[in-house]
Amino acid sequence: MLCNIEIFLDNKWQLAGYFEPDDTVNKTGYRSAGHFNYDVQYVAQQLQTGISAALSCNFPTSFELWNTASWPAFLLDILPSGAGRRHWLNQLNINDGASADWQLLLQGASNPVGNLRIQQSVQTDTNTQHQGFDYKEVITRRDDFIEYAFQHGAPVSGSSGAQGDAPKFLLTQDKQGKWHADGALADEYCSKHWLVKFPKSNRDLDLSVLRNEAAYYEVARECGLYTGEAIKLDNNALFIPRFDRQITANNQVIRLGIESLSSLAGITEFGAATSKNTYCKAIAKHCTNPSDDLIEFVKRDILDIALGNTDNHGRNTAIQRLSNNDVKLTPLYDFAPMILDPQGIARLSRWENEESQGRPEWGKVLQFISTLGCDMQKAKQALQQLHIKISQLPKIMKKHAVDNDLITQLQPRLENVAKELGKIK
């Protein structure tokens, strides 16, 4: 058993490496041991390229053979999960559980977010003949659109930017504005790439979470966080421009390398309660400008707490590897009032020694990131500026059409966070 891992580099898909699990894989799934190595020819061509040619920051391009106690963490980023996993289980007519992991990787990782894919899962019948769908057909979720999308792998195929329980579709617009399942349209016909998210259900709370996500994104932008293009909400469909795809002036599609913080930190488990400190250490180790990214990471945590985004696991934040070998946090994503989720999602990732009664003490957090090389003065100034914005959040939230009852519900949180930030001198 072997999976061939491809990377999109130099405007083409290339065989880059191999992972071979041991013979327990059909029982233990991604927890099975194995070994990973790069393709010799690929290494010979890319050895001097840098981290942009690597499959993971933890596996720089080399001739080394890595023996792993479980699957390499970056493979968990492209293993279908959440709604995408349920789709592939149905498509393959197999039962869920660890025994399904290997087959899901081999069949369901043909077109994930980022620039990696599993060669065995790739279909060769890329469809450029289908006329595509109108915008109205997408937002009304006509049965023929959903069926077409399913057949072409549009539901989440398992990656850092598209996992989760809410249905998410990777869609591409052609040059005539028609919509296609991502991966079903050849690159030369593409004009823009989207992730389209629908609510988990038609319950009021699920609709509220989705409705406020677009507003939250603009609140985060006004608070100075690193955000991408604006999100659009229409008829309970959230249209999110993808930041892992770029289209050049000569119509080439560039796929950027994306790696979750879980992968960056070498976490080979789903739902692990990994500390913020561990993620900070990974950022400090791998990011090109660690001070900037550590400060951004702390600012995101502050807004998560203030605005009730409790779903803060390590796959809801990621880094991107750029062609110039820079490594940095991606724009913010999956930022929503998950405090409203009826399942009661808990804040999974916390600070180790910098919290008191479940509340972070931001002065202690600054002291910790300073031990990792973060510019302390710069960090203090950033949080003092954020403090001003936090104090104005009710007004900012109303400006961006956050629900009034949600603003009222969050008021105690906003006051507590503002009070703690005010202690930073």
Q: What is the pLDDT of residues 350-373, one digit of tens each?
A: 999 999 988 999 999 999 999 999
CA atoms within 13 A on the CB side of 143: 0
Q: Would 128 be classed as within a structural domain?
A: no
pLDDT of 100:
97
Same domain, 216 and 338: no
Quick one: average pLDDT of 334-347? 87
Quick one: average pLDDT of 135-153? 70
Q: Show the domain range for 15.
A: 3-121
Same domain, 302 and 234: no
Distance CA 4, CA 19 (A): 7
Q: Would 312 be classed as within a structural domain?
A: yes
pLDDT at residue 129 greater than cutoff 80: no
Quick one: average pLDDT of 380-388? 97
pLDDT of 125:
54
pLDDT in tens, 234-279: 988 999 999 999 999 888 999 999 999 999 999 999 988 999 999 9
pLDDT of 161:
32
Same domain, 335 and 377: yes
Same domain, 396 and 287: yes
Q: Would 127 be classed as within a structural domain?
A: no
Q: Would 290 be classed as within a structural domain?
A: yes
pLDDT of 49:
97
pLDDT of 345:
81
Same domain, 235 and 266: no
Residues linked to residue 258 through DSSP beta bridges, in sequence order: 320
Kind plus residue range of the DSSP H or E element containing 68:
strand 65-68
Same domain, 399 and 272: yes
Distance CA 311, CA 348 (A): 7
Kind plus residue range of the DSSP H or E element containing 329:
strand 327-329
CATH of the domain at 201: 3.30.200
Q: Would 319 be classed as within a structural domain?
A: yes
**Where among 121, 144, 169 does a domain terminate?**
121
Q: Is 201 or 326 the better-scoring residue by pLDDT?
A: 326
* Prediction pTM value: 0.93
pLDDT at residue 166 greater than cutoff 80: no
Distance CA 72, CA 189 (A): 34
Distance CA 241, CA 10 (A): 23
Phi, psi for residue 45 in degrees, rounded to 5: -80, -30
Residue 284: CB atoms within 10 Å: 17
Mean pLDDT of the chain: 91
Q: How confident is the model at residue 143 (pLDDT cuts 50, 70, 90)?
A: low
DSSP classification of residue 180: E
Quick one: average pLDDT of 303-321? 95
Same domain, 75 and 155: no
What distances in angstroms separate CA 2 from CA 14, 46, 208, 312, 403, one per listed residue?
17, 22, 44, 33, 50
pLDDT of 160:
27
- Percentage of the chain modeled with pLDDT above 90: 74
Domain total of the chain: 3
CATH of the domain at 390: 1.10.1070.20
Distance CA 244, CA 250 (A): 18
Same domain, 106 and 174: no
Contact 56, 139 (CB under 8 A): no
Distance CA 268, CA 352 (A): 20
Same domain, 283 and 414: yes
Q: Is 42 or 200 the better-scoring residue by pLDDT?
A: 42
pLDDT of 341:
84
Same domain, 231 and 273: no
- Percentage of the chain modeled with pLDDT above 70: 93
Same domain, 183 and 105: no
Distance CA 149, CA 272 (A): 32
pLDDT in tens, 168-206: 888 899 999 999 888 878 899 999 999 988 887 888 888
Q: How confident is the model at residue 159 (pLDDT cuts 50, 70, 90)?
A: very low
**Where among 247, 267, 282 does a domain terminate?**
247
Quick one: average pLDDT of 160-174? 68
pLDDT at residue 381 greater than cutoff 70: yes
Q: Would 27 be classed as within a structural domain?
A: yes
Contact 412, 393 (CB under 8 A): no
Q: Would 129 be classed as within a structural domain?
A: no
What distances in angstroms separate CA 356 from CA 307, 314, 352, 359, one per listed residue?
19, 22, 10, 5
Q: Is 163 or 258 the better-scoring residue by pLDDT?
A: 258
Distance CA 77, CA 162 (A): 9
Contact 180, 132 (CB under 8 A): yes
Same domain, 95 and 176: no
pLDDT of 202:
82
pLDDT at residue 155 greater than cutoff 80: no
- One-letter-per-residue 3-state SS of 101-162: HHHHHHHHCCCCCCCEEEHHHCCCCCCCCCCCECHHHHHCCCHHHHHHHHHCCCECCCCCCC
**Where among 94, 121, 148 does a domain terminate?**
121
Q: Is 164 or 32 the better-scoring residue by pLDDT?
A: 32
Both tokens of 397, joined, read 């939230």
pLDDT at residue 123 greater than cutoff 70: yes
pLDDT of 406:
97
| Size of the chain in residues | 425
pLDDT of 88:
84
Q: Would 324 be classed as within a structural domain?
A: yes
pLDDT of 411:
97
